[in-house]
Amino acid sequence: MKTKLKHVRANVKDLESAVEWYTNTLGLKVTGTWPHEKPNYAHFESENGAIFAIQEDENYPSYSRFNFNVDDVESLWIDLKDKVEVMEELLSTPYGTRKFTIKDLDGNELGFVQEN
- Rounded to whole angstroms, how far apart are CA atoms 31 and 84? 24
3-state secondary structure (DSSP) of residue 88: strand
Q: Provide the pLDDT for residue 21.
A: 98
Domain regions of the chain by residue span: 7-115
Yes or no: say if 68 and 114 are a contact pair by the CB < 8 Å rule.
Answer: no
- Rounded to whole angstroms, how far apart are CA atoms 100 and 70? 11
Task: Provide, rounded to the nearest whole percent, the portion of the chain with pLDDT above 90.
Answer: 97
Domain spanning 7-115, CATH class: alpha beta
pTM to 2 decimals?
Answer: 0.94
Burial of 79 from C-beta contacts in 10 A (0-12 / 13-18 / 19+) = middle
- Asked if residue 105 has pLDDT above 90, the reply is yes
Task: Provide, rounded to the nearest whole percent, the portion of the chain with pLDDT above 70.
Answer: 100
